Structure 1
Amino acid sequence: MNTKYIDLINQTFDFPQPEFKLEGKELMFHDIDLMQLVETYGAPLKFTYLPQISNNIQRAKGWFDKALKNNDYKGKYSYCYCTKSSHFKHVLHEALKNDIHIETSSAFDIDIVENLKKEGKITNDTYVISNGFKRAQYVTNIARLINNGHNNCIPIIDNYEEIDLLSQEIDGNFNIGIRIASEEEPKFEFYTSRLGIGYKNIVPFYKNQIKDNKKVTLKMLHFFINTGIRDNAYYWNELSKCLKVYTNLKKICPSLDSLNIGGGFPIKNSLAFEFDYEYMVDEIINQIKLVCEEEGVDVPNIFTEFGSFTVGESGGAIYEVLYQKQQNDREKWNMINSSFITTLPDTWAINKRFVMLPVNRWHDTYERVLLGGLTCDSDDYYNSEQHMNAIYLPKYNKDKPLYIGFFNIGAYQETIGGFGGLQHCLIPSPKHILIDKDANGTVTTKLFSEQQKSEDLLKILGYAN
């Protein structure tokens, strides 16, 4: 009988997969021995596999390069990293190995940019695309960056006041972009994004505030929708409306030469994940070229701002199953030695799915379970709603420790969870490990941060100096 966990996986999915394979009874991730990681550092732990950041950047750049050639597209392509997905130094340093640019969203982002410039990681030739709603400190920091010679910093105008605010602090001429306020999917509670300026208002805005303003030059139109890049009618319809605005604007604004299509590439959230990235990129480039040809305008240079796609698939977390609680005839709760609310907040906030697999005991029999966290909050769990299907794991055995891994968690979870700060029920943040691999395939690991101690939390709370 096929009753082992490995049998279940083989019957359900194509396995092994490029990043996942089995050695004996234990799971390997990009050839990283996860049980050895646990034995060395303990659990719970989080890790970042740095090479995957470069891998995904190069994949995307390859798709766009191919699409430009296939479509005889005359514009250039620039890959920007959306820093809000993960601001950590090790993430930026790895990403910047790949000749990319930066997208910022708040005042302190500019401080990071200036730090990277001092270290020689970026230069004045690096594009800094400054998005977000801008007030006081953000405006001041953008102005300081431009005044110090970074002319490739392009503030993306989000509302009607920002040009004046920037003009007051920037000494000379500067380039700008405009963000389109896209219309949201019908199922949303509101119709139009709070970010940017409405489709119908962009050309009048250009005529009233930019056309005769000798200090500013419009270079970029910015387009992004909340659901990201998907092969559905909603995405193609919004892109079509964006291109109509671009061509209308281009006809009266010769300096406009770039279209920023934002981010939104999905990342793998189950072993059954499928998404034809290459087709989507080729079709986007094709649609842009067709519309520009129909309207008789030059095609724009293309910018993207991939955040989750850049860093998401580099991250993972490993927990130990501490205990099993049989709460009724049908529900078995496997309690982990950490919290989903604090370490994977998107599982709680938006029912986000991640790849979840046991790290060991793949040749044991399996059972259906629910996963519970350590906090006293009823929402601290991970079940079939997030996981898409029922959760099956090797059967609990108090004498045989079970470790489970969550993968592709590298985007947003640290910042949303408040890295280094207080956590719900004072559950400590787990230790964080950085994993790298050299050209010869030699793996190195380094402790980035220790698990929080009670003294750390007591100091934040004012109980200790």
Structure 2
Amino acid sequence: MKNKYIDLIDQTYYFPQEEFTLNENSLSFHGIDLMKLIEEYGAPLKFTYLPQISNNIKKAKHWFGNAIEKHNYKGNYNYCYCTKSSHFEHILTEALKNDIHIETSSAFDINIVNQLKSEGKITNDNYVICNGFKRDRYIMNIADLINSGHKKCIPIIDNYEELDLLTDVIDGDFEVGIRIASEEEPKFEFYTSRLGIGYKNIVPFYEREIKDNDKVSLKMLHFFINTGIRDTAYYWNELVKCLKVYIQLKKICPTLDSLNIGGGFPIKNSLAFNYDYQYMIDEIIYQIKTACDDAGVPVPNIFTEFGSFTVGESGGAVYEVLYQKQQNDREKWNMINSSFITTLPDTWAISKRFIMLPINRWNDEYERVLLGGLTCDSDDYYNSEQHVAAIYLPKFSKTKPLYIGFFNTGAYQETIGGFGGLQHCLIPTPKHILINRDENGELTTKVFAEQQKAEDMLDILGYK
């Protein structure tokens, strides 16, 4: 009878997979022996496997390169990293090894840019695409960066008054982009994105405010939809509308030479994940080229702003199952030694799915369970993994510890949860490990942050 956990996985998915393999009875992730990591650092813990950041950047560049060559596309491709996905120094340092550019969202992002410039990790040759709603501090920081000689800093106009605010504080000529306020998917509570300027208003805005402005030139049109880049009628319809605006603008604006199609590549959230990245990129490049050729205008240079795709698949979280509570005849609660609300807030806030797998005891019998966190909050549970309707794990045993891992958690969790600050019910932030490979390909690890201590929280709360 096939009733072991490994049997369940073998019957349900193709396994092993590129990043997941078994080392006897326990799980390895990108060649990382996770049980060895637990033995050295304990659990709960978070980890970041830095090489995966470079791996994904290289993949995207390769896919775009293939599409540009296939369609004889005359524009170039620029990969930008969306910093709001993770602002950590080790993330930016790894990403910037790959000849990329960055996209910012707020005033303090520019402080990070200045720090990276002082270290030589960003130069004036890197584009800094400044998105977001811009108030005084953000405007001033952008102006300071451009005034210092960083001409490839491109503020993306999000609302009408930003152009005048920037013009007042930037000394010389500068380039801007305009963000399109795309129409949202029908299931949304609102019809049009709050970000950017409406389709029908962009050309009049250009003619009124930019066309005869000797100080400002329009370089970029920015397009992004909340659902991301997916093979749906909604996405292709919005892209076609964007291209119509680009073509209208290009015919009257010779300086316009770039189209930013934003971000939104999905990342692997299940062992059954299937997304044809090359097909989507081929089709996007083909659609842009066809529309421009038909209209008799040059094709634009392409910019993307991948955040989750850049950093998401580098992250993981590891927990120990502390205890099992049988609440009724059907529900068994496996209690982890941390909290989902505090350490994986996306699972609680937007029902985000991550790959969840046991780390050890794959040759043991399995059972159906629910996963609960330590806080006294009824929403602190997880039931959104790859089996959808249920979670199956090796049977709980008081004498055999069970460890579980959540994978591809590298985007947004620390920024949403508030890294280094107070967490719900004062559950401490786990230890965080950085994993890399040396010049010989050997794994190296170091502690980025220890688990929070009571003293840290008391200090924040004003008790010290």
The TM tier, using the shorter chain, reads over 0.9
Q: Which residue number in structure 1 is paired with residue 320 of structure 2?
A: 320
Identity %: 79
Look up the SS of the partner of 2:434 in the other structure. Answer: strand
Distance apart, 1:438 and its partner CA: 2.5
Which residue of the partner structure matches residue 78 of structure 2? Answer: 78
Which residue pairs with 1:361 in the alignment? 361
- 1:384-408 deviations in whole A, cap 9, x for unaligned? 4786241000000010000000000
For 2:350 and 2:321, locate their aligned partners in 1 and report how far apart those are by CA, in whole Å.
24
- Corresponding residue number in structure 1 for 2:98: 98
Q: Is the 8 A contact 1:157 1:178 kept in 2?
A: yes
Task: Please say if residues 105 and 130 of structure 2, whose CA atoms lie closer than 8 Å, have aligned partners that are also in contact.
Answer: yes
Matched, 1:402 2:411: no
Alignment of 1:48-447 (within 5 A): 48-384=48-384, 388-447=388-447
Q: Is the 8 A contact 2:354 2:385 kept in 1?
A: no
Q: Which amino acid aligns with 1:311?
A: V
- State the one-letter code of the partner of 1:261: I
Say how many residue pairs are matched.
464
CA distance in structure 2 between the partners assigned to 1:394 and 1:25 by the alignment: 12
Secondary structure at 2:353's aligned position in 1? coil
Give distance in 1, aligned partners of 2:257 and 2:242: 14
Q: Return the TM-score normalized by structure 1.
A: 0.99
Q: Is the 8 A contact 1:351 1:386 kept in 2?
A: no
Q: Work out the CA distance in 2 between the residues paired with 1:197 and 1:431.
A: 43
Structure 1 unmatched ranges of 5 or more:
none
Residue 451 of structure 1: aligned partner:
451
Seen in structure 2, the aligned counterparts of structure 1 residues 384 and 57 have a Cα distance that, compared at 3 Å, is: closer
Give a deviation string over 1:225-245, Cα, whole Å, max 9, x none. Answer: 000000010000000000000
* C-alpha contact (below 8 Å) 1:353/1:388 kept by paired residues: no
Q: Is the 8 A contact 2:157 2:176 kept in 1?
A: yes
Distance 2:333 2:387 in 1: 15
AA paired with 1:332? K
Give me the TM-score of the superposition, normalised by structure 2.
Answer: 0.99
CA contact (8 A) 1:353 1:387 kept: no
Q: Residue type matched to 1:305 in 2?
A: E
Deviation at 1:383, TM superposition (A): 1.1
Aligned-partner Cα distance in 2 for 1:430–1:200: 49
Q: Give the conservation status (yes or no) of the 8 Å contact 2:352–2:384.
A: no
| Runs of 4+ more than 6 Å apart | none
Amino acid at match of 2:361: R
Q: Report whether the alignment pairs 1:40 with 2:40.
A: yes
CA distance in 2 between counterparts of 1:4 and 1:385 reads: 19
Rounded Cα–Cα distance in structure 1 between residues aligned with 2:425 and 2:88:
26
Q: Deviations over 1:35-93 (max 9, x none)?
A: 01000000000000000000000000000000000000000000000000000000000
Amino acid at match of 1:48: T
Report SS of the residue matched to 2:114. Answer: helix
Q: Which runs of 5+ in 2 are unaligned?
A: none
Instruction: Give deviations 1:136-186, integer Å, cap 9, x for gaps.
Output: 000000000000000000000000000000011100010000000000000
Within 1, Cα distance between the matches of 2:76 and 2:339?
45
1:78-130, CA deviations, whole angstroms, 9 ceiling, x for partnerless residues?
Answer: 00000000000000000000000010000000000000000000100100000
Please give the secondary structure, in 1, of the residue aligned with 2:138. Answer: helix
